[in-house]
């Protein structure tokens, strides 16, 4: 037995195609604005990819490249102006920020209705209460990946290993809203393998290479590996990447995401979709209203 490969690129392209179609129906083109401070190479790469995908689907894209010496007050002033600009649909501040700037204060300053990263406390509260919300992109991308491949969520015993505010916690809320029975575990959970072997849907987002071995996976499970870990260099000098799930799990699971090429492309695609969803609601004079339904008791 070898697991079916849940490749991210085709699922991400399908999500981008949906975003393009919806954006084309709007009276005004959605506009994604990204604020970047300094010249961190990883940030430059991430922002460039986001801009490229936005333009590919017909969105406007503006990068506000500020010097690393920008003060917190100056940054907050720019955010305030972009919040008030009706042409701006989605707004995000690329992390990490330089020392001396309070990231929490900066992220909280972004309007919840333009918070396409889904990190604002208002969106977190909306998500957990079952109210309309813009969700964090990686967990929403996981759900979109499952839907693309026709994999069930409702009624599944889902175990999420990882309790971060970016992936684990919001994914638990999204899966609950889709009628999964969810257990949220982490790297310090006693007898972790006892839980993971119960999972029909196993999502791992811890950041520890090969934490989950084949013996910890239920036969026939769907396994979503969110982890991306650097584990050395290849002969060509490029970074070697490994997921949180050992490759041998493919001999036990029914379906498994690869690393790289699994969840990663979904994160950017969901960011573009979030921008379109925000634009739809802002142009209708409403706040976000579609992404999650109120979970039944």
Q: What residues are annotated to the active site? A: 50, 94, 117
Contacts of residue 198, defined as CB under 8 A and 6 or more positions apart, other chains included, come to: 157, 159, 183, 218
β-pairing verdict for 229-233 and 239-242: antiparallel
Rounded to whole angstroms, the Cα distance separating 297 from 293 reads 12
Residue with tokens 């994160």: 267
Q: Does 162 belong to an annotated binding site?
A: yes
Compute the residue count for the chain: 297
Q: Does 8 belong to an annotated binding site?
A: no
Q: Does 163 belong to an annotated binding site?
A: yes
Compute how many other C-beta atoms are within 10 angstroms of the C-beta atom of residue 130.
15
Q: Is 232 exposed, middle or buried (0-12, 13-18, 19+ CB in 10 A)?
A: exposed
Distances (CA, A) of 12 to 21, 71, 108, 148, 173: 14, 36, 28, 9, 22
Per the CB < 8 A criterion, the answer to whether 128 and 173 are in contact is: yes
Q: Does 228 belong to an annotated binding site?
A: yes
Rounded to whole angstroms, the Cα distance separating 116 from 54 reads 13
Which residue ranges make up the annotated binding site for NADP(+)?
162-164, 228
Which residue ranges make up the annotated binding site?
162-164, 228
């Amino acid at each position: 037995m070898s697991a079916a490969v849940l490749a991210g690129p085709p699922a991400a392209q399908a999500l981008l195609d949906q975003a393009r179609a919806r954006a084309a129906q709007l009276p005004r083109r959605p506009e994604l604005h990204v604020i970047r401070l300094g010249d961190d190479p990883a940030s430059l790469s991430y922002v460039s990819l986001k801009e490229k995908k936005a333009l590919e689907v017909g969105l406007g894209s503006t990068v506000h490249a500020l010097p690393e010496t920008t003060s917190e007050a100056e940054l907050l002033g720019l955010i305030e102006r972009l919040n008030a600009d009706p042409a701006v649909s989605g707004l995000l501040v690329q992390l990490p920020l330089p020392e001396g700037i309070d990231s929490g204060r900066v992220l909280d300053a972004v309007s919840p209705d333009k918070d396409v990263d889904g990190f604002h406390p208002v969106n977190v509260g909306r998500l957990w209460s079952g109210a309309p919300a813009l969700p964090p992109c990686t967990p929403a991308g996981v759900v979109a990946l499952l839907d693309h491949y026709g994999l069930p969520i409702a009624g599944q015993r889902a175990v999420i290993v990882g309790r971060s505010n970016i992936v684990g916690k919001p994914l638990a809320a999204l899966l609950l809203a889709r009628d999964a029975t969810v257990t949220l575990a982490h790297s310090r959970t006693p007898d972790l393998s006892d839980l993971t072997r119960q999972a029909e849907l196993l999502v791992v987002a811890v950041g520890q290479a090969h934490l989950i071995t084949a013996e910890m996976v239920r036969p026939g499970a769907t396994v979503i590996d969110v982890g991306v870990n650097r584990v050395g260099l290849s002969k060509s000098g490029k970074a070697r990447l490994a997921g949180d799930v050992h490759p041998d799990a493919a001999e036990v699971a029914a379906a498994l995401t690869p690393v790289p090429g699994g969840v990663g492309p979904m994160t950017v695609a969901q960011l573009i979709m979030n921008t379109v969803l925000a634009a739809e609601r802002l142009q209708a004079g409403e706040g976000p209203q579609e992404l999650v339904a109120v979970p039944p008791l």
